Amino acid sequence: MHDTKDLLVQERWRVIDQSVSGLYISALQSFGMDDTLCASVGSGEAPATARSWVHQPTVVLGIQDTKLPFLKDGMNLLQENGYEVIVRNSGGLAVVLDEGVLNLTLVFPEKAKGIDINRGYDAMWQLVKDMFADHDQEIEAREIVGSYCPGSYDLSINGQKFAGISQRRIKKGVAVQIYLCVHGSGSERAELIKQFYQLSKKGEETRHVYPKIVPEVMASLSELLQVDLTVQDVMLRFLKVLQGKSGQLFTGSLSLDEVPLFESYYERVVERNQKVMGE
């Protein structure tokens, strides 16, 4: 384990809570938002910022997914099931967002010595372990084969994945993002993505490797901990842990300087999305 304590400990943590308001906006705004925070926190104009966000049913594709030979068929399936489909501007593969999935973003300034990529991942893993320290369950970080968007920092309990972590860097800002499946069925979400890949690939040879999804390896925290967790319960745990790590924790929104920055980053996200989707 790398030394992570110092990354979570910040003099000031600004919290932007969109765990409710996010339900009324497109997930594209979240990607514009995280890019904005990366730039403003990285330049030192804004303090370290933690953001929470929840969106209506959306499947977020990675750039690699857009190379699938029969992508339109897969997208039609998702849309027929009531999901909006967007493409994020970073790596990784398809993930599911809905009312039971809480996303958290931690944005750090990359000071003089820089932040090693694993340190960012380790900080988020540590945060989640601290959030659920009262449950006697070991939270592991390792790739869960058969999950959607598999990665070396999948978080799991007894081999079942409930969260995935990604990172985005812009200028001198580092955004570490996690999606936490709080409630609902993890395997049903995985089944949807399994069908998406089957329809989008139809067994063809592809240059990229796409996951062979085994729905049973995914679950929500409510299923794994056998308690009825809500997004707000998890938000409270998150704020409590963060409060213990900061000199000052305060809720805020974008500053007047960040608003035009957001508009330009959001525009970029929308344009890239339209280009990739061939609209």
- What span, in angstroms and rounded, lies between the C-alpha atoms of 175 and 153? 15
Helix, strand, coil share (%) of the chain residues, nearest 5: 40, 25, 35
CA distances from 222 to 22, 102, 118, 205 (A): 22, 13, 28, 38
The H or E element spanning position 29 is: helix 27-42
Active-site residue, from 149, 163, 174, 175? 149
Residues paired with 17 in a beta bridge: 52
Give the burial string for 172-192 (b: 16+ CB within 10 Å, else e): bbbbbbbbbbbbbbbbebbeb
- Of 5, 41, 12, nearest to 248 (Cα)? 12
Residues paired with 36 in a beta bridge: none
In degrees and rounded to multiples of 5, residue 156 shows phi and psi of: -145, 160
DSSP one-letter code for 174: E
Catalytic (active site) residue 149:
yes
Task: For tokens 């009531």, name the residue.
Answer: 82
- What span, in angstroms and rounded, lies between the C-alpha atoms of 21 and 27? 11
- Of 188, 191, 194, 183, nearest to 220 (Cα)? 183
Q: Which residues are catalytic?
A: 149
